[in-house]
Chain A
Amino acid sequence: MIKVENLTKQFKKNVVLKNISLSIEQNEVIVVIGPSGGGKSTFLRCLNSLEKPTFGKIYFNDLDINDKNNDINKIREKISMVFQQFNLFPHKTALENIILAPIKLNIMNIEEATKRGIELLDLVGLSDKANEYPKNLSGGQKQRVAIARSLAMQPDVILFDEPTSALDPEMIKEVLDVMKGLVGKVTMIVVTHEMNFAKEVGTRLLFLDSGEVIEDSKPLAFFNDPQTDRAKSFLDKIL
């Protein structure tokens, strides 16, 4: 579904990603972990072309997403993203946040989109917050609305960029629970520091450090028996 070939990303002279190649299959739940500054977020942001690779190519369903001949906006309709800072639209209500894109991009008419939007709010447990503005929602509620918004486009892939890092501890679970509910329905790529989530839910784990994929394995195998010294020292520090 997604194919990454020799992805290298530099900011000026600073090499953030070094020659990463891998492919991602449908309905995988990939957790990306590693130390801060290791390139996790940049890797994720390259997958929907929010960052352009310095070298290398990324294919989504065999389309080169950075090829000018392919409409990146059409591709992005199928690759949603959930951000650390939620990035809800503050001038729209929770429901409007969810239905804006499907309506304005002519995917659904207003009635369909509203019906689907209400279903999605129900799915994330916020039916009663449809008409609230983001400023009246807690962090966890905002992030759940953001997940509903990303689902509204019926994407094939959702990229989660540290979705719980900006949340108070007691709100992390409600967001992770919503994410667990999506397993098997959509391909998920999750940059996270939630090791229990990675262990429990991930079908595959990427350990990124200094811009390289150091380990690409099953989560349980990674946590129980890391193959590299760098992974071992990382796990020593966090567990």
Chain B
Amino acid sequence: MILLDISKLYDFSFFFNQQVILDLISGLFCTLSIAFFGIIIGIIIGIILAIGKLVGNKFVRGVVTVYINFVRGTPLLLQLYMLYYVPAFIWHEMSGASLNWSNYIVGMLAVGLNSAAYVGEIFRAGINSVDKGQFEAASSLGFDYKTSLKLIIMPQAIKNILPALGNEFIALTKETAIISVIGARDLMFYSKQATAITYNPFTPLFMAGILYFIVVYSLTKGVSIIERKFAND
């Protein structure tokens, strides 16, 4: 009596299924683009958050603090669902029409807005890590806050900011996998689909894993090259 047909565990037949391979590749591009735009959104909004926290009035600082604490204190999955369901719900309640927001866009926003909180803290901490005396010296020469930041503080802060920022982007790239739960067609989504089509969980997941690894490992290498370059200056 055969309880387990071992041969099924390494059934690589779907490698020859052209559709599955094409799907995984298109999923990979989706993952890469979500990560890329997520990073862009993260940087832009993160910098705005950092500036808000550093120079904003009490109200702005309060809003930024609440936002950062909320994002860092709740799961990304929850934030993703909130962004996916809540605006659509409100839109439907108010206008009666349904909101056709693509899950690709929702996923990108969720990842980007989540990352922004971390990027904001990275920038703020990096700027605060520069000795207060540097600001004072710049001010005493007649530089305003903005110019001091640009000419004196940021060139020094960037050494502390870059490594942390690189790590954040690596984490973000991996976390994009979560957007498959709202149906965005990324690498994770297609690997699950291939599993369902072929009844074989092993090869699609393993192949997706290899693709994720190649992307993340290249990013890690790229980040450490940039880091070394800045550390030498």
Contact = CB atoms under 8 A, between A and B. Distances in A.
B133 A80 contact: no
Interface string B131-151: 101101111111110010001
A76 B138 CA distance: 10
Interface string A94-120: 000000110011000000000000000
Contact of B134 (A73, A81, A87): A87
B139 A50 contact: yes
Given A91-B155, A104-B151, A77 B142 contact: yes
Interface residues on B, range: 10 to 19
B5 interface: no
B152 A89 contact: yes
Contacts of B93: none
A74 interface: yes
Contacts of B136: 50, 81, 83, 87
A83 B141 contact: no
Contacts of B141: 76-77, 80, 100-101, 105, 149-150, 153
Interface string A144-175: 00000110010000010000000000000000
B155 A80 contact: no
Contacts of A74: 142
Nearest to A79: B140
A181 interface: no
A48 B137 CA distance: 11
A104 B143 contact: yes
A101 B142 contact: yes
Contacts, number: 57
Interface residues of A, number: 24
B133 A73 contact: no
A79 B155 CA distance: 25
A91 B156 contact: yes
A48 B142 CA distance: 10
Contact of B133 (A87, A150, A159): A87
A105 B140 contact: no
A42 interface: no
B143 A87 contact: no
Interface in A49-107: 50, 73-74, 76-77, 79-81, 83, 85, 87-91, 100-101, 104-105
A45 B155 CA distance: 26
B18 to A, nearest CB: 55
B147 to A, nearest CB: 7
Interface string B15-59: 000000000000000000000000000000000000000000000
B137 A153 contact: no
Given A74-B142, A76-B142, A100-B151, A83 B156 contact: no
A73 B139 CA distance: 7
A78 to B, nearest CB: 8
Contacts of A105: 141-143
Given A50-B139, A91-B233, A85 B144 contact: no
A144 to B, nearest CB: 15
Contacts of A89: 134, 137-138, 152
A192 B141 CA distance: 21
Contacts of A159: 140
20 contacts: A80-B140, A81-B140, A83-B133, A85-B131, A87-B131, A87-B136, A88-B137, A89-B134, A89-B137, A89-B138, A89-B152, A100-B151, A101-B143, A104-B143, A104-B147, A104-B151, A105-B143, A150-B141, A153-B141, A153-B142
Which 4 pairs, one residue from A and one from B, show the smallest C-beta to C-beta distance? A87-B137, A77-B142, A81-B140, A87-B133
